[in-house]
Amino acid sequence: MILLEIDMGKNKVEKQEIDASGPLEAAITIHKKYETWRLDPLSPEAPIVFGMGPFVGGKLYGVHRLIFVFKSPQTKTLHVSALGGAAYKAMGMGAQAVAIRGRAEKPTAVFIANGQVEFAEIKPSDAYNLIKELYETRRDFFIQNDARALVVGPASWTTYNGAIVSVDIDVKKGEFRLGAEDFAARGGPGTALAQGHNVVAIVVGGPKKPLYEKAADAEAINQLFRQRLGKPYLDVLNEKTVKYRYDPKIGTGGTFGVNYPHYRDLLPLFGYKSIYMPKEERIKHADLVLELFWKPFQVEVFEKAKSWYNCGEPCPVVCKKVWRGKKVDYESFHAAGPFIGNYLLQEAVPVVDEIDKLGLDAIEMGHVIAWLFDAVYTGLLKPEEVGLDDVPAFDPSSFDPVKDSRRNAKLALALVRNFVNNSTDVLALVAKHGIRKAARELERRYADRVRERGVRFRDLAVYAAYGAEGYMTPNFYWAPGLVAPMYVLGRYWTNYNPTFMSPEDFAKTSYERAVAEALVDNAGICRFHRGWAEPVLKELYQLVGARPPAALYREIAYYAKLSGAEPMPWESKRTRDLVSALAKELGSKEWRFEDYDDYYEWWIRFKEALDKLILA
C-alpha cells in the first residue's frame, strides 16, 4: 500500500510503498520502525497514523471509516480510534495511509489531495468554528477536491483527552451536513496530534475512485455473498444492520433508540453507583430514564419524522439519528445524561454540544464528570476546588429526576469548561494526567479527608489500569469484559455483553471478539456493518486481490509489553464491584468474590489464558 510520511518539523513529504493490508497493520509497521515503545506518547517522533481499508470507492457500504492509530497519552500504549465516513472523501488523497511525525514550529493545518501536501499556519479554535474557518479561507480546495476537515478543539491543547473532530460540509453550499459528524476520540488522538505535532487540522480530498477495481464489481460481490451466505449482498446487509437503521419489532433504531429499552436496568447510572442498587430500584430508575430521556427522542425521531442520516458516505443504514438538529448517539448522550445523574434529554444537549465543540472524548468526559461529582458529593473535594458553586445530587436513592437533573446538567456544563480551561489546581492535575494518576496524587494531597470519609479517590472511579500510569475507562455497559485485562479497551475489542463466566472462558470469548474487531478496523469497515462483513472478510480481500492481514492483536499485545503498559490488576473498589455485582446478579455460584484474593485470582487467570491464546 502507498503511505505518505509527513515530517512536520521539516515540511517534508515522503511517499513510500509498504507491505500492509490496511491502516492498522501499516501503523504497527511504522511504530515498529521507529521503536516508539521507547518514546513518550507526546514525543514529536511518535507518529500518529491514519488511513483507510482496501474496499473504499466501490459497491460495498460502510467501508469508509478513517482509522487512527497512535501511542495514547491515556493508556501509554498503542490505541486505535475510528471516524465514520471520512474515508469517502479521503480516498482521493493519493495514499491509503498517512503518518504524521515531527513538530511544526507554529500551529499548522495540513491539506492532502491527489498525492500533494500543503501546509498553512492556522489559529486554534473550537472545533466547529475551525471547520467553518478552514472552508471559508480555503474554499477552492474544498470545492475542487470535495474535501473534508479533521480538526482538534481546545481540549487537545490543555488536556490528555482531546478528540479528532470531523463534520462533513456540503462544499457547494458551505453548510454542515446533518448527522455527518463523527469523532476519533478514545485514548486522546487529538492530544497526540496537537501537543505532539502542533497540528490543528488535516483536510483530505481528491478524486474518488476505488483502490481496487474489483471493489466496484457488484456482480462479483453478489456472487460471493450468494456462495457464502445464500443471499445477495444488499439482502444480507439489510438483515444484519436492522438495529442501527430501524427495528420494526421494537419500533426504534440506532444505538440510543435501541439500548435503553433493550438493556433497561443493566445500564450504568451515577458513575456505576447503580450496581449497588436492588433490581427493583434499578427498574424504577430505568422507567424514569425511558420516560424522560428516551421517549422525547423516540417521539420526534421515529414517530413524528424520520430524521435519519448517514456519516458522510452513501449508506442505506442511515444510523445517524438527529433530534432538533443534534446527532444523538447512546454513548455521548449517556455520558451527559443518566451516567452523571441527568434524566432530562433537553438538559443533556448543551453539555454534549460543549463537549463536541471543545473536542473532548465524550465517554471519558462522562467518567471524569461522574468521578468528580462523586468526590464532591462524598466530601473528598469541595465544590470550589473544581470550580463549582453547588454540590451535585449524586445519591440515586434521594434523586429528584427533574429538579436534580437540571442541577447536575448545569454543574456538568460548568465542569466541562473548567476542565478544559484548567481553572483550578485540581482540574489542572486531572486534565494533565487523567483519572488514575490524579487520584493517587489527590489521595496524598488530601490524606486527612480520605481517612475521615473512609474512601479513596480511586475507589469512586471505574477503569482498567495499564503499566504504571496508563488506564482506560469503559464504554457505558455493565460488563466485566470492559475492564478485563485486555490489551485494547475503551472500544469493543472484548466480550462486552452483560455476562459472567469462568476467567478462561471469558478470556476466550473476549480474545475472539478482539481479533474480529481488529480485522474490521484494519479493513476500514464500520462496526455497525460487522454482521455481514466478518463472515466474508477473508474472501473480500481475495476478491479485490489484496493480502489479508497478519496477527494484528498479537503485535499490539507485544507492543504493550515493550512499552511497559501491560494490563494491571484492578486498583479501584468500584471496578472490582462492577465484576462481582454482576456475577451475583447472574447467580454465579463458583465465584463469590469474598476478598481481594478472589478478584486477583479471576483477573490473573483471565490474563494468563489470554496470553496463551495470543501466543498460540
pLDDT of residue 604 exceeding 90, the answer is yes
Least confident of 152-156, 159-163, 545-549: 545-549
**pLDDT (0 to 100) of residue 81:** 98
pLDDT the model gives residue 306: 86
Q: Rounded CA gap, 244 and 235, in Å? A: 15
Contact between 58 and 157 (Cβ < 8 Å): no
pLDDT at residue 359, as a whole number: 98
Contact 66, 40 (CB under 8 A): no
Query: Which pLDDT belongs to residue 351?
Result: 98
Tell me which residue has cell 471493489. 215
pLDDT for the residue numbered 458 = 98
The angle at the Cα of 8, spanning 4 to 14, to the nearest 5 degrees, equals 30
Nearest to 438 by CA among 446, 426, 427, 430: 430
**Given its phi and psi angles, is residue 78 left (phi above 0), alpha (psi -120 to 50 degrees) or beta?**
beta
Tell me what pLDDT residue 371 has.
99
Residues present in the chain in total: 616
Q: Is the pLDDT of residue 422 over 90?
A: yes
Distance CA 478, CA 272 (A): 8
Give the cell for residue 389: 458553586
d(CA 183, CA 224): 33
Confidence of residue 135 (pLDDT cuts 50, 70, 90): very high
Share of the chain above pLDDT 90, in %: 99
- Please name the residue ranges forming H helices in 59-126: 87-90
- In angstroms, the CA 599 to CA 616 distance is 26
d(CA 68, CA 79) in angstroms, rounded, equals 8
- Distance, in Å, from the CA atom of 602 to the CA atom of 605, rounded to the nearest integer, reads 5
Distance, CA of 88 to CA of 93 (rounded, Å): 10
Contact 62, 315 (CB under 8 A): yes
Which stretch of DSSP H or E encloses residue 13? strand 12-17
Cell of 111: 491539506
Cα atoms found within 13 Å of the Cα of residue 316, Cβ hemisphere only: 13
What is the rounded CA–CA span in Å between residue 492 and residue 503? 18
Q: Would you tell me how many other CB atoms lie within 10 Å of the CB of residue 403?
A: 10
Full set of structural domains in the chain with CATH? 2-214 (3.60.9.10), 244-464 (1.10.569.10)
Beta bridge partners of 12: 7
pLDDT computed for residue 550 by the predictor: 80
Angle at 100 between CA 98 and CA 103, to 5 degrees: 165
Query: Are 81 and 362 contacting, i.e. CB atoms less than 8 angstroms apart?
Result: no
pLDDT (0 to 100) of residue 559: 98
Burial 451-472 (b: 16+ CB within 10 A, else e): eeeebbbbbbbbbbbbbebbbb
pLDDT tens figures, 528-566? 999 999 999 999 999 999 988 989 999 999 999 999 999
Strand partners, 13: 6
Q: Tell me the C-alpha distance between 302 and 323, whole Å.
A: 10
Put residue 6 in one of left, alpha, beta given phi > 0 → left and psi -120 to 50 → alpha.
beta
CA atoms within 13 A on the CB side of 332: 26
Region 495-512: what's the mean pLDDT?
A: 98
The one-character DSSP state at 402 is: T
How does pLDDT run across 66-83, given as a tens digit for each residue?
999 999 999 999 999 999
Dmax (CA) for the chain in angstroms is 71
3-state SS class at 221: helix
Per-residue model confidence as pLDDT tens digits over 15-34: 999 999 999 999 999 999 99
Distance (Å, whole) CA 65 – CA 113: 18
pLDDT at position 467 over 90: yes
Which residues, 6 or more positions from 533, have their beta carbon under 8 angstroms from its beta carbon?
62, 520, 523, 525, 540
Phi/psi of residue 155, nearest 5 degrees: -60, -30
pLDDT in tens, 220-254: 999 999 999 999 999 999 999 999 999 999 999 99
pLDDT given for residue 305 in this prediction: 85
The pLDDT of residue 614 is 97
Do 566 and 466 contact (CB within 8 A), yes or no? yes
Sheet harboring 148-152: ordered strands across?
Answer: 116-121, 108-113, 199-205, 148-152, 164-170, 175-184
Give CA separation, 512 vs 455, 508, 608, in Å. 37, 6, 15
Question: The whole model's pTM is what?
Answer: 0.98
How many other CB atoms are there within 10 angstroms of residue 305's CB atom?
10
Considering the chain, what is the average pLDDT of its residues? Answer: 97
Number of Cβ within 10 Å of residue 1's Cβ equals: 22
DSSP 353-394: HHHHHHTB-HHHHHHHHHHHHHHHHHTSS-GGGGT-SS----
Strand partners, 78: 71
Sign of CA dihedral 438, 367, 386, 400: negative
Distance CA 90, CA 306 (A): 29
Q: What percent of the chain has pLDDT over 70?
A: 100
- Averaged over 308-337, what is the pLDDT? 95
What pLDDT shows up at residue 173?
Answer: 94
> Taking residues 257-265, what's their average pLDDT?
96
Q: What are the backbone dihedrals phi and psi of residue 36, each rounded to the nearest 5 degrees, phi first? A: -70, -10
